[in-house]
A = this chain, B = another copy of it.
């Protein structure tokens, strides 16, 4: 718990104080951690596992906005403004989270202005990430976006094997297609092409062995 980067810079004493205010909880796959339209009452930090943030559109479709994994947090932008959450968050597998209530979070920020700055930086990072995603989603070919997603997954969800990086997929094909904003079938086809090109190798539905990350990187750059 003391490894959470958000608090890495705090003194031991401050840290103890904060730790005593946190509460931990686990969720199972598909359990809702935060509902869309609800006013979040806490800041939630993912400690183990991963979760998806998604919006339900007026016509009932789901659109995934983020995949949260270890050390990502959410709920912070609503803690001061008291607005309703624009998205829901659901566990993609067993997830362990730590939470702070709104009151504790506010007190924390007032007592430790440094943390406010950390939050500004962290939000800035998220903005940068979204900007990058926007850029590729908005301006690029589907192949490029897929390459970028796979590279992202290698960083976050892969284990090294003798033959290359093996991604333990946090999402089904359907989820990935949704996240990329394309049809399930299109993703299948593109992955098949990558497999026939010898760039990757599918191991069942939940694992992807990436043999040539260099080729993917090259494609992701061609925007």
Contacts and interface: CB of A to CB of B under 8 A. Distances in A.
Interface stretch (A3-11, A121-129, A153-161, A203-211): A121-129
Interface in A84-118: 86-87, 109-110, 113, 116-117
A87 B117 CA distance: 22
Given A63-B139, A87-B131, A139-B181, A124 B77 contact: yes
Interface stretch (A51-59, A164-172, A185-193): A51-59
Given A127-B130, A130-B127, A131-B87, A138 B80 contact: no
Q: How large is the interface on A (under 10, 10 to 19, 20 to 34, 35 or more residues)?
A: 35 or more
A63 B223 CA distance: 10
Interface of A is mostly: helix
A134 B134 contact: yes
Interface in A25-67: 55, 57-59, 61, 63, 65
A31 to B, nearest CB: 22
A148 to B, nearest CB: 12
A163 interface: no
